[in-house]
A and B are shown apart, each in its own frame.
Chain A
Amino acid sequence: MSHLKTLLATTMLVACFGAAAQAKTLVYCSEGSPEGFDPALYTSGTTFDASAHPIYNRLLEFKKGTTETEPGLAESYEVSEDGLEYTFKLREGVKFHSSDSFTPTRDLNADDVIFSFDRQGNSENSYNAYVSGASWEYYNSMSMPDLVASIEKVDDLTVKFTLTAPNAPFLANLAMPFASIMSKEYADQLEAAGTPEQLNQAPIGTGPFQFVAYQADAAIRYSSFDDYWAGVEPIDDLVFAITTDASVRQQRLAAGECHIMAYPNPADLESLQQNADLTVMEQEGLNVGYFAYNTTQEPFDRPEVRRALNMAINKQAIIDAVYQGAGTVAKAPIPPTMWSYNDNLVDDEYDPEAARAALEEAGVTDLSMKIWAMPVSRPYNPNARRMAELMQADFDAIGVDVEIVSYEWGEYLERSSAEDRDGAVLLGWTGDNGDPDNFLAVLLGCDAVGGANRAQWCNEEFDALVQEAKTLPTQEERAELYTQAQEIFKQEAPWATIAHSVVYVPMRSEVTGFVQSPLGDMTFDGVDIAE
């Protein structure tokens, strides 16, 4: 009898291990550690990839591979005539994850939605300061406190947002990571237990993957959520293997230690593309690298001077040397993957002779200027110092003397915002929500002068178009105005638009179903591993 027991136990063990061995695990070599798992507290893409995308959902989601929104936890919504009231109908029967310490007793309802936003904007909410220094950066920087007058529960599955003014980009905001919907029931339970900080460390959401464990700076583990409202995932487990060095990520991918890797070194792309076991996906990033003049200072306050200088910049040489080919020449302030991109714009042609003549015609001689070079590498500008040197040589060719200056990054950001700044700055932008307003108003609007508007450029005609576009209900109507605004931008040339960088995602050839997001998000729902 005891032999039989042993045999049975062994068989069961083998069966268990056998099943475990067949579990499909997708490993993603990520570039860094998440700061936490409550996406509303943070601003980095690394954190969003680890929290907002696998674990949570939002009322609206970005349609895969696009910057357009589609229904998420809200199955539909209505906008009132005056554009002030947005009423969302929630999906029925949406389940929350469970964990060792939490078992949900109810499905998603309006209370969860209200809690998720109220905690960010209402200082009376007990979760407003549940971790020390919680600043709800995105909620504030997307102007939600000024925009949202109230959020009300109409019934269990209906929520109404009332705005202070019509604002079309509001919908895109709701698809952003900070608008992830949390479980109020879980938050209440944690509060009662005196451990509210667990909301940020042991997350519970409605998303495609459940959080299993975070091994600090080493790995994050998730398992597929069996009750996911949009269907069960093809893989069983998802692992983020945190690997900060790009060369090491590449080695791990080649050795089969991971299936997908983040941010390859541009210099390694060729060898990655030649490896038969790998596929390299590419897409223009939702970004722009620009060179902003200070349009309040002589002689850069004149569009003809700015346009003349723009003609002296050899952008293709910059793409080759600085982006190592992984970029495209930018002619508009918004990237080509974004709706309302004006493809009819004609870029200033690289022509040093014409540039020199135009400067003379404008009466500018013996011009000397400063070029500000960022001290850090960013996707929109991988090496600003090198770029500044190339531009220095370009300007020298037309008789403009250039001095390159740089500061520590925090210092650079602060000083470059100053209205009396001396010189033109190299900087860039990566879109937050795929809405053109997020580029045109944030970077070039009159309100942003002295802040993110580094050109200090306030053009009334441009600003009026961008402000009006915000209030229009349909995308077509808005696109029309944004297209016109881009023409004014090109005519006035507050910036030289340099490049849109290309984002590459290398992966093992057996990976299927991965869709690159123009927003740069890494999302793994729908991804499978072919046998």
Chain B
Amino acid sequence: MLRFFLSRLALIIPTFIGVSIISFAFIRLLPGDPIMLLAGERGMSAERYAQLSAEMGFDRPLVAQYFDYLMGILQGDLGTSIVTRRPVLDEFFTLFPATIELALCAIVLATALGIPLGVLAAVKRGTWIDQTVMGTALVGYSMPIFWWGLLLIILFSGTLGWTPVSGRISLLYFFPPVTGFMLIDSLLSGQDGAFLSALSHLILPTIVLATIPLAVIARQTRSAMLEVLGEDYVRTARSKGLSPRRVIGLHALRNAMIPVVTTIGLQVGVLLAGAILTETIFSWPGIGKWMVDSVFRRDYAVVQGGLLLIAIIIMFVNLLVDMLYGLINPRIRH
């Protein structure tokens, strides 16, 4: 197991260097100059441009800029935002808990609903239940997130008034962040009703963000289950006279879980991408919205630093999934 872990870990180093190069190059390949954007309609004299360019280090050769960036990363310094003049790492860690909280809730919801629905569809293959579940999953998978979110807001917040429109908690509540996770902080604050308010603010964004992963997990579970249900050992288990619940729960599902776990792991990327739109529409102060704003403003330091941090998270989650994989299926370790 240790060798397996180390071999996976060794792969991370070249991936990391690759990601650092891509994140550095990506924002610079886009047309547009952050200094001209700062100047706006007014424009800027050539001298002033040269001065600002030198102050921000943009006048140096790209290779030199990249090595500065790389040296910075090794010292834990991802640079300073051109717009807010604050360290990128500070901004990231201020906003990251909000994204994690939302993504965790969404993946829990997607898994808790997706797996049972997939199993149900597989067991009831060909019936109306199967068709309804798979039909709904297809719709969920194809739904544009932005439109879906707005639709839910208009119905549940606007017309019915059941849920708040946006934000993380009612503005009536105010307490300094302790963990950055609103659900926990609201409990810690001891203010009456704060937790319920935070919870009610999570409902719609969680549903919106969970929609695509839920559809993917349900479809993946169904097809994996169908494959396993046709295996010899399942037939043997059935013929032994085990109850259908035991056959499905113990024998079939456990084996069907391997591709499902991989799928759930891969959803982390989908969640972070989905968070960009979900956060924008629900005014959710997370890293998705922060990245989008920064791309528009050509805030080089934020985009390259943010991309790198997100890539590190995805790499870490993939490593975790690989480990889990090894635990579920010992053959993979060799």
Q: Which residues of A contact B (CB under 8 A)?
A: 25, 27, 32-33, 35-36, 41, 43, 131-135, 137, 140-141, 200, 213, 215-219, 221, 239, 241-245, 247-248, 251-252, 254-255, 257, 407-411, 413-414, 417, 427-429, 442, 451-452
Contacts and interface: CB of A to CB of B under 8 A. Distances in A.
B41 interface: yes
Nearest to B31: A408
B268 to A, nearest CB: 22
Contacts, number: 139
A409 B37 contact: yes
A452 B42 contact: yes
Interface stretch (B60-68, B108-116, B151-159, B313-321): B151-159
A255 B161 contact: yes
Contacts of A251: 153-154, 157-158, 165-166
26 contacts: A27-B171, A35-B85, A36-B84, A36-B86, A133-B55, A134-B85, A141-B39, A141-B42, A218-B167, A218-B168, A239-B171, A241-B167, A242-B283, A247-B150, A248-B153, A248-B283, A251-B166, A255-B161, A410-B33, A410-B37, A411-B32, A413-B37, A413-B39, A413-B40, A413-B43, A452-B42
Nearest to A35: B84
B95 interface: yes
B48 A252 contact: no
Nearest to A27: B171
Given A36-B85, A248-B165, A255 B31 contact: no
Interface in B47-69: 48, 52, 55-56
B45 interface: yes
Contacts of A411: 31-33, 36
A200 B31 contact: no
B33 A414 contact: yes
A283 B32 CA distance: 33
Contacts of A141: 39, 42, 44
Contacts of A247: 150, 153
Contacts of A245: 280-281, 283
B171 A257 contact: yes
Contacts of B41: 413, 427-429, 452
B91 A216 contact: yes
B282 interface: yes
B32 A217 contact: no
A80 B161 CA distance: 63
What is the size category of the interface that chain B forms with chain A? 35 or more
Max chain B C-beta neighbours (<10 A), residue from A36, A215, A239: A215
Interface in B141-193: 150, 153-154, 157-158, 161, 164-168, 171-172, 174, 176-177
Interface in B5-51: 30-45, 48
Contacts of B44: 141, 451
B165 A217 contact: no
B289 interface: yes
A63 B91 CA distance: 37
A247 B30 CA distance: 29
Chain A to chain B: the 3 pairs with minimum beta-carbon distance, closest first: A217-B285, A410-B32, A131-B85
B71 interface: no
Interface in B216-250: none
B43 A417 contact: yes
Nearest to A219: B171
Nearest to A218: B285
B285 A215 contact: yes
Nearest to B79: A132
A134 B32 CA distance: 21
Interface of B: 30-45, 48, 52, 55-56, 80, 82-86, 91, 94-95, 98, 150, 153-154, 157-158, 161, 164-168, 171-172, 174, 176-177, 280-283, 285-286, 289-290, 293, 298
B150 to A, nearest CB: 6
A133 B80 contact: yes
B32 A408 contact: yes
B38 A43 contact: yes
A177 B33 CA distance: 25
Contacts of A132: 80, 85
A49 to B, nearest CB: 16
A67 B104 CA distance: 50
Given A218-B168, A409-B37, A410-B32, A248 B85 contact: no
Contacts of A252: 165-166
A215 B169 CA distance: 12
A137 B38 contact: yes
Contacts of A35: 83-85
Contacts of B289: 217, 244
Contact of A221 (B34, B154, B174): B174
A217 B158 contact: no
Contacts of B34: 410
Contacts of B33: 410-411, 414
Contact of A243 (B38, B48, B82, B166): B166
Nearest to A242: B283
A43 B297 CA distance: 13
A217 B174 contact: no
Contacts of A428: 41
B43 A25 contact: no
A41 B36 CA distance: 16
Contacts of A429: 41
A333 B37 CA distance: 24
Contacts of B298: 410
B36 A410 contact: yes
A216 to B, nearest CB: 5
Given A131-B85, A135-B52, 6 more contacts: A137-B38, A141-B42, A218-B283, A248-B153, A251-B154, A254-B158
B230 to A, nearest CB: 48
A241 B48 CA distance: 36
B165 A255 contact: yes
A258 to B, nearest CB: 8
Contacts of A32: 293
A408 B32 CA distance: 6
Contacts of B42: 141, 442, 451-452
